[in-house]
Amino acid sequence: MYDRFKRRINYLRVSVTDRCNLRCVYCMPECGVDLMSHKDILSFEEIVEVIRFGTENGITKVRLTGGEPLVRKGIVDLVKMIAKIPGIEDLSMTTNGALLDQFAQPLANAGLKRVNISLDTVEEKTYKKITRVGDLSNVLKGIKAAQSAGLEPIKINCVIKKSPIEQDAQEVAEFCDMNDLQVRFIKEMDLETGYFDRVIGGDGGHCATCNRLRLTADGKLKPCLFDDLEFNVRELGIGTAYSKAIGLKPKAGSENTVNKFSNIGG
Ligand code: SAM
C-alpha cells in the first residue's frame, strides 16, 4: 500500500488496551485517565481481522502496544492468534517490562519475535518518581527474562527531557552497553501542541519516510500520531477505514487533540 506521497505503508501499531499498570509523569495523570468502556474495546477476533486485512494488503510489521499490552487479559492467546496470520515478517511489542518476567517465555512460545522496553533511568528512586508506582527491579528481571526467551534484539526506549547527555540517559546508555541492549532516546513530546522530534537511534518521527498506521484499542485507524484523523473500523468497515487512513495520511504531523500517549501507544 502506498499513500499519496509515495510512502509505502507496511507497519501497523496496535494498541490492545488503554489500561496501564504505571503512571509515568509525562504520559498519564496520577489518577489515571478516563478509560474506554469495555464494549468499545476491540475483541481479539476483531483485532485479528483488522491485522489480516492489513497483511493481505502489504502490512508486514506489527507491533503491539497500549496502555500496557501485558495487562490485557489473554495477551498470550492474542499473540498466538496474530502470529498465525500469513504475511507478518516482524511481530513485536512495546512494554514497560514490569510483567515481562512472567510473560517473556510464554510470549516467545506464542510467536512474539522481539520487544522494546521502556526505561528512562536505572536509578531506583528516580524510576519510582517517574513511574509513580513502578519498581525498577521488576523491569530489570523482565529484561533478563526477555533475553533468556530470545525476544531479541531488545530495544530500550528512554524518554529524555532535552538531550541524551542528561545523567539518567547516560546511565541508561551505559547499562545498555553492558547488557547487549540497543538504546533509543525519545524526546518528551506533547501531542496537543504538536511538539515532536525524531527518535535518536531509531526511525520514528521522520515524516518523509513514515510507513505506519495505528489502531487504537477502540478500533480507530489513525494515519499519524500527530493528527486528529481517525477512522473507525466498526462504523466504516475495515476496508474503508484502511483506504481513508492511507488516502488521507498527512504529509507531516501537526498536532493531536483527540488522543493521549496513554491510549495511542507512543
Ligand atoms: N506501556 C508501554 C510502554 O511503557 O512501553 C507501551 C505504551 S507507551 C505509551 C509507549 C512509549 O511511549 C513508551 O516508550 C513511552 O515512554 C512513550 N511515551 C509516552 N509518553 C510520551 C511522551 N510524552 N513523549 C515521548 N514518549 C512518550
* CA 27 to centroid of ligand 1, rounded, Å: 7
Ligand 1 atom closest to residue 262's alpha carbon, by position in its atom list:
9
pLDDT of residue 173: 98
C-beta 97 within 6 A of ligand 1: no
Q: Which residue has the cell 510470549?
A: 107
What pLDDT does 34 receive? 86
Cβ(27) – ligand 1 distance below 6 Å:
yes
The Å distance, Cα 65 to ligand 1 centre, comes to 9
Task: Assess whether the C-beta atom of 68 lies below 6 angstroms from ligand 1.
Answer: yes
Over the range 165-196, which residues count as b (16 or more CB within 10 Å of their CB) and which as e?
ebebbeebbebbeeeebebbbbbbbebeeeeb
| The residue to which cell 487479559 is assigned | 73
Ligand 1 contact via 101 beta carbon (within 6 Å) = no
Q: Which contacts of 132-135 are long-range, i.e. CB under 8 A and separated by 24 or more positions? A: 132/22, 132/23, 132/24, 132/25, 132/30, 133/21, 133/22, 133/23, 134/22, 134/96, 134/98, 135/98
Contact 159, 120 (CB under 8 A): yes
pLDDT at residue 163, rounded to an integer: 92
**Residue 263 pLDDT:** 77
Residue of 120, 157, 185, 262 to test ligand 1 pocket, by largest number of atoms within 8 Å of CB: 157
Q: What is the mean pLDDT of each run of 10 residues along the chain (266 residues)?
A: 97 97 92 89 98 98 97 98 98 98 98 98 98 98 98 98 95 98 95 84 88 98 96 98 98 90 77
Query: In the prediction, which pLDDT does 77 show?
Result: 98
User: Residue 74's pLDDT is what?
Assistant: 98
**Residue 32 CA, ligand 1 centroid: distance in Å:** 15
Atom of ligand 1 nearest to the CA of 187: 25
Question: Residue 31: what pLDDT?
Answer: 86
Query: Residue 261: CB within 6 Å of ligand 1?
Result: yes
